[in-house]
């Protein structure tokens, strides 16, 4: 065995990690560790870590899978809930990258597109609200 290699992790040395978006599951797999950034700073979790709840900041989430490979996720605000050997990361937006460089470009393009869609939706909603108010103002009040 090489000095830098590890044997495959046993089941008790793994936790199940899920990265959930509002409409789909982005990742579901076994992991040796997880690193994230919360409002009170960066932290790491191991399988036997105590149950934990954290409010996550936009950052890079790093999951070390059962084979020891690092997986990178660019995440938006969200929550992390660890209960037993289950970890759920619940975020509004996220993207997966094979390395930090590709993740950066993926986040930049996908998050920018989402921001533009949200901006267009807010503009449309504002126009609807103005139209409703205008129509309500045109209604005649009943005579007293």
Q: What is the pLDDT of residue 79?
A: 96
For residue 108, being part of any structural domain is answered with yes
**Distance spanning both ends of the chain, measured CA to CA:** 93
Query: Which region among 43-52, 62-71, 119-128 has the lowest average model confidence (pLDDT)?
Result: 119-128
For residue 23, being part of any structural domain is answered with yes
Closest by CA to 78, choosing from 58, 56, 111, is 56
Domain extent, residue 30, equals 11-133
Q: How confident is the model over 7-41, as pLDDT tens digits?
A: 555 556 899 999 999 999 999 999 999 999 999 99
Q: How confident is the model over 86-122, as pLDDT tens digits?
A: 999 999 888 888 777 777 666 666 666 666 667 777 7
User: Residue 91's CB: how many other CB atoms inside 10 A?
Assistant: 21
For residue 139, being part of any structural domain is answered with no
For residue 101, being part of any structural domain is answered with yes
Tokens of 58: 């936009």
pTM of the model: 0.67
Helix (H, G, I), strand (E, B) or coil at 108: helix
Report the alpha-carbon angle 51-5-60, nearest 5. Answer: 45
For residue 36, being part of any structural domain is answered with yes
For residue 144, being part of any structural domain is answered with no
Our count of domains for the chain comes to 1
For residue 77, being part of any structural domain is answered with yes
User: Which residues, other chains included, contact 19 with Cβ-Cβ below 8 Å and sequence gap of 6+?
Assistant: 25, 26, 27, 28, 61, 73, 75, 89, 91, 94, 96
């Amino acid at each position: 065995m090489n000095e830098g290699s590890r044997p495959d992790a046993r089941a008790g040395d793994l936790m199940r990690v899920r990265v959930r978006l509002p409409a789909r599951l982005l990742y579901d797999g076994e992991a040796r560790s997880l690193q994230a950034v919360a409002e009170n700073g960066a932290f790491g979790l191991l399988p036997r870590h105590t149950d934990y709840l954290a409010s996550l900041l936009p950052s890079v989430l790093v999951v070390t899978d059962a084979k020891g490979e690092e997986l990178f996720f660019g995440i938006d605000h969200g929550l992390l809930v660890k209960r037993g050997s289950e970890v759920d990361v619940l975020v509004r937006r996220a993207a997966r990258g094979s390395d930090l460089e590709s993740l950066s470009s993926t986040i930049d393009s996908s998050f920018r597109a989402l921001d533009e869609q949200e901006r267009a939706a807010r503009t449309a909603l504002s126009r609807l609200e103005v139209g409703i108010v205008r129509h309500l103002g045109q209604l005649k009040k009943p005579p007293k």
